[in-house]
Amino acid sequence: MCGIIGVVALPGKTPYRPGVMVYRGLKRLEYRGYDSAGVAAVYHDKIIVVKGKGKIDDLEKKLGLSSVDGLTIIGHTRWATHGAPSDVNAHPHTDCKNEFAVVHNGIIQNFRELKQLLISKGHVFRSDTDTEVVPHLVEELYKTTGDVYQAFKQAIKMIKGSYALILISVHEPDKIFFAKKDSPLIIGLAEGFNLLASDIPALLEYTKKIITVRDNWIGYITPKEVFIEELDKGVIDWRKYVRIVEWSLEDATKSGYPHFMLKEIHEQPRALKDTFYGIREDVAVAEAVKLLLDAEKIYVTAAGTSYHAGYYYSILSAILARRPIIHFIASEYEVYAPTSSEKDVLIVISQSGETMDSLKALRAFKENGVKVIAVSNVIDSAIPRESDISIYTRAGPEIGVAATKTFTTQTLVLSWLAISHAEALGYLTRNEAEELRDWLGKSSEIASKIIAWNESYALKLSEWFSSRGNAYYLSRGIGVPVAMEGALKMKEISYIHAEAYPAGESKHGPIALVEENYPVLFVIPNHPELEKLILGNIQEMKARGAVIIGIASEDTSLRDQLDYWFKIPTTHWILTPITHTPPLQLLAYHTAVKRGYDPDKPRNLAKTVTVE
């Protein structure tokens, strides 16, 4: 959803020239959008802009983004909302006299009114973007204030919508001005230079000392100074908000893998181990269980992959804790929020903690007094910040657009929660709960085996799969959200149409599409009753000529039913998302690569969707 970055430095104090720092930072933010990019610098009392349509590396070759000179430089990588991807719509945007340059992540809702107002005052616009109103507005207000910060502040007060905004100006060449509402922004603190960026990975190479900017904060950075105030409330003592991030630079690099997605699939054993040890010590779980015990209704919401984790949780809660959970897709919150009251609990799952649909759902429920538990991968992100209790996965930064390690770690955390809830309700004895937790403790080792057993098999199967146009992903019970996750992975990166259904539902319509050689993947949890049910569904599909691909344990009773078999170790069914998802991730990955697509940058998609 657009990535922004800014560097302001003293001469000779930075590890690379600031232009190179901005370029390298943009590369690390590319997962947020990649249809166009650009940089702007204050250089010898002028604003220099270099920007264009295309991916960052192509623009670097064509235009030399990193060659821009100067000590105050901002950059942007775009995921288009207002105005098609084009050279002119690429950020940064400037005013009429080229005295101010702005990069923006978010949407300015009242840009049409502001644009009309500014046109009536003689401003000339060059792009179709909402963002371009900002430099013109600041230019207009500067005429009366004669002070960049005051003009910027007044402009921010006139803007409605969501924004992480960075502005530079020829009038104050050693400052970068910023403001934030509903889109993420972070300040990085270093010796002799300071930075701003949308996300932590962009800064890891330069500093681990960060401040997460809160909504309605506005201010500026210089090479040696930070100034922050809360709009209409006064100056912020920002030192209270400084923290050191635990992620390493390694986490934000491909470490020899051809794509982040493959690296992140392989990181799952480590991510599961860290998450397991983290959750074991986390007092927030006991607090969350207390809220669940007192709740009249429990809701769970999220978007995309995180929703699949939420759906899995709702099934597990019904099985273990006998508590039905209302699960819904975050963007549908308006249907569900009116049914909630202060006696209820909402669980919001978001790896980034910034997804706008999920944040809006959270806020709508909070207005009714609902208590909120967040499950996130990013400390201090918006969703945990606005929740009553936050539980974290410890997957490390996820840069591939398709979620992988964050899904399996989310399901680990949510399993832990459901087990603890069931134990507190007396549906599981201490020993039974411990036994299940022990399985979670083994998940790291098991995931490592599964990846080793299935990597080359997925590669081999992708030869055939990559020539398919459609596929069904079917399962029953606890396996259904895993089938949904597998289908989402396949469609979003390989562009093969893949749909998931509860297997029993497939005969109520979907089976009409099945013909000779149609791929049907079955997620087969290690559970005798489910295997029996799935056998009937496999036979229905086989009778129509489908090719059956099964993800099933070593001693599955369905072995002879499968045309292709992703073999996984026999474990407890509670681990189904952790055991059955990696083969599906690997198949989607290799199929996308076979079809000539970049799995890290699927078309039309961006990670962290900060618009509704």
Q: Which residues of the chain form contacts with ligand F6R (CB under 6 A)?
A: 303-306, 350-352, 355, 358, 402-403, 488, 492, 608-609
Q: Would you say 350 or 415 has its CB closer to ligand F6R?
A: 350
Q: Compute the least distance from the CB of residue 581 to ligand F6R, in Å.
A: 11
Backbone φ and ψ of 573, nearest 5°: -60, -25
Residue 169, strand partner residues: 100
| Rounded CA separation 541/549 (Å) | 11
| Rounded CA separation 25/17 (Å) | 12
Q: Are 39 and 176 in contact (CB under 8 A)?
A: no
Tally of CB atoms within 10 A around 560: 7
Q: Are 34 and 77 in contact (CB under 8 A)?
A: yes
- Of 455, 482, 442, nearest to 316 (Cα)? 482
Q: Compute the least distance from the CB of residue 498 to ligand F6R, in Å.
A: 13
157 catalytically annotated: no
| Rounded CA separation 50/103 (Å) | 13
Q: Would you say 194 or 415 has its CB closer to ligand F6R?
A: 415
Give Cβ neighbours of residue 385 (< 8 Å, ≥ 6 apart).
Answer: 212, 214, 353
Structure tokens at 445: 């080792």
Question: How far apart, in Å, are the Cα atoms of 593 and each of 258, 585, 597?
Answer: 10, 12, 5
Q: Compute the least distance from the CB of residue 605 to ligand F6R, in Å.
A: 8
Q: Compute the least distance from the CB of residue 457 to ligand F6R, in Å.
A: 22
Q: Compute the least distance from the CB of residue 185 to ligand F6R, in Å.
A: 16
| Rounded CA separation 482/168 (Å) | 47
Q: Would you say 298 or 402 has its CB closer to ligand F6R?
A: 402
Q: Would you say 267 or 492 has its CB closer to ligand F6R?
A: 492
Question: How far apart, in Å, are the Cα atoms of 549 and each of 83, 99, 474, 510?
Answer: 43, 61, 10, 17
Residue nearest to ligand F6R (CB): 304
Q: Compute the least distance from the CB of residue 351 to ligand F6R, in Å.
A: 4
Q: Compute the least distance from the CB of residue 349 to ligand F6R, in Å.
A: 7
Residue of 2, 153, 263, 405 marked catalytic? 2
Q: Would you say 81 or 145 has its CB closer to ligand F6R?
A: 81
Q: Would you say 303 or 428 has its CB closer to ligand F6R?
A: 303
Residue of 115, 153, 181, 607 marked catalytic? 607
Backbone φ and ψ of 566, nearest 5°: -85, 105
Q: Would you say 89 or 275 has its CB closer to ligand F6R?
A: 275
Q: Compute the least distance from the CB of residue 277 to ligand F6R, in Å.
A: 22
Q: Would you say 41 or 200 has its CB closer to ligand F6R?
A: 200
CA angle 546, 547, 550 (to 5 degrees): 120
Backbone φ and ψ of 302, nearest 5°: 180, 180
3-state secondary structure 208-258: CEEEECCCCEEEEECCCCEEEEECCCEECCHHHHEEECCCCHHHHCCCCCC
The gap from C-alpha 589 to its chain's centroid, in whole angstroms, comes to: 18
Q: Compute the least distance from the CB of residue 398 to ligand F6R, in Å.
A: 8
Q: Compute the least distance from the CB of residue 608 to ligand F6R, in Å.
A: 6
Q: Would you say 135 or 486 has its CB closer to ligand F6R?
A: 486
Q: What letter would DSSP give residue 320? A: I
Q: Are 534 and 503 in contact (CB under 8 A)?
A: yes
Q: Would you say 553 or 581 has its CB closer to ligand F6R?
A: 581
Q: Name the one residue in this structure whose structure tokens are 């029953």.
A: 476
The per-residue DSSP string of 33-97 comes to --SEEEEEEEETTEEEEEEEES-HHHHHHHH-GGG---SEEEEEEE--SSS-S-TTTSSPEE-TT
Q: Are 447 and 576 in contact (CB under 8 A)?
A: no
607 catalytically annotated: yes
Q: Name the one residue in this structure whose structure tokens are 């669980």.
A: 347
User: Is residue 225 packed enough to be buried (19+ CB in 10 Å), middle (13-18) or exposed (0-12)?
Assistant: exposed
Task: State the catalytic residues.
Answer: 2, 607
